[in-house]
Structure 1
Amino acid sequence: MNELQIIEYSNQRVLTTQQLAEVYETSVDNIKMNFKNHKDRFIEGKHYYLLKGDNLKAFKNRVNDIYLVGKNANQLILWTEKGADRHCKILDTDKAWEQFDNLEDTYFKVKEMFDIPKSLPEALRKLADEVELTAKLQLENKIKDQQIGELQPKADYCDLILKSKSLCTINAIAKDYGMSAVTMNKKLHELGVQYKQGGIWLLYHKYQSKGYTQSETIEFNHTDGRPDTRMHTKWTQKGRLFLYELLKAHDILPMIERDENG
């Protein structure tokens, strides 16, 4: 496939009928005839753009090779990647399929790969979005790791226990020790039980499969309406006993035992 002159319209790469005919090794008239006979299969704005009047004049001023657009043409059709795909299916020749694969992997793909920001603020916004997305995906993977590691028994007695009201929040456990949830979480971090990422406390890997916690992902909306998810974790009775033994080994007792010994 000969090197194509790059043409862009509406922030995406497009092809003229002339270019499309050359790529598929057919005639311009054949492309036009196929479009006329299957026009109901093409959607303007999705498969093609029809330029007329001032829009066409402005476009001609941006294109160096007038041969591609026609010097005296009073209208011009620009084909999008989806439009080129549709023509490939109509032609249904080995050459057309081969050339569309080339277009998909080069001409149209390069635009996606090298869509460089036009200004510093735009570049910074794009970088911030990418960093935020990466961090979110990493956190989601960490959450999934914990949820996979946690015991998820079948619908039997253990399942009823784990999903019963006996599950405890960290707030309730902390209250038993006369602490706030913030203080308790920090203490468990100091003792190597959990770590914090993205504002969420996650168990270290060696504790994830012990059945100490039961977590679920909850959907919610920010105040500005943006949808998001957060993980809500509760401790099982087994986990509560684990914390009791762990804290006791470090001379941290629940309030009720301190009262009895005091």
Structure 2
Amino acid sequence: MQKKSTTELLETFLSGGLFTVPENQKLSKDEALALGLIEIACAISLMAADAQFAREALGSCGVFPVSEIAGDYGYSAQAFNKLLCDQGIQYKRGRRWYLYDCYQGLGYTATRLTTREAGGRTRAFSGMQWTVKGRRFLYDHLRAQGIVPTAGRKEQP
């Protein structure tokens, strides 16, 4: 096997190349260090991708309409809102849903302002949307009640 420098090994790794060391071949300290660095570089690249996902998911702009979450459970938005009402999470006043006091201020929801054409005028409407933290809360709460997303349900024969 031709010896490669640390730089060459890292370039091989980063370009997607594969390299192996025969089991019976002893590595010098420099070669062992180089392979250790490559393992660390691999771990860092995996963690960087996970960290990027977490930043995007937990960012303040990560909100979901109830219809999207309801779809995960096989419900319509209206039926899912009723389910959350029955679970004591939210209540309806007028045409809007609100969280009960014990769930307010925990970062589960955000209010989003949208505009629509109504009666020839552009009107602004506010609505509650669920954050990533709120979506996780719903998942944990509903799972404790035996309600799981449709993807998590076992197929029944």
TM range, smaller chain: 0.5 to 0.7
User: 1:126-145 alignment to 2 at 5 Å?
Assistant: none
1:245 aligns to 2:140 (yes or no): yes
Corresponding residue number in structure 2 for 1:169? 65
| TM-score normalised by the chain length of structure 1 | 0.35
Distance 1:202 1:221 in 2: 25
Distance 2:106 2:151 in 1: 27
Greater helix content:
1
User: 1:1-262 alignment to 2 at 5 Å?
Assistant: 161-164=59-62, 167-222=63-118, 224-225=119-120, 228-259=123-154
Report the CA distance shift for 1:256/1:160 in structure 2 as closer, same or farther (over 3 A): closer
SS at match of 1:259: coil
- How many residue pairs match? The answer is 103
AA of the residue aligned to 2:148:
L
Report the CA distance shift for 1:253/1:241 in structure 2 as closer, same or farther (over 3 A): same
AA of the residue aligned to 2:151:
I
Alpha-carbon offset, residue 217 of structure 1: 2.5
AA of the residue aligned to 2:73:
Y
Distance 2:58 2:123 in 1: 29
RMSD: 2.6
% identity of equivalent residues: 39
| RCO comparison, higher one (Cα < 8 Å, 6+) | 2
Q: Runs of 5+ in structure 2 lacking a partner?
A: 1-54
- The answer to whether the 8 Å contact 2:113/2:124 transfers is yes
| TM-score normalised by the chain length of structure 2 | 0.56
Q: Runs of 5+ in structure 1 lacking a partner?
A: 1-156
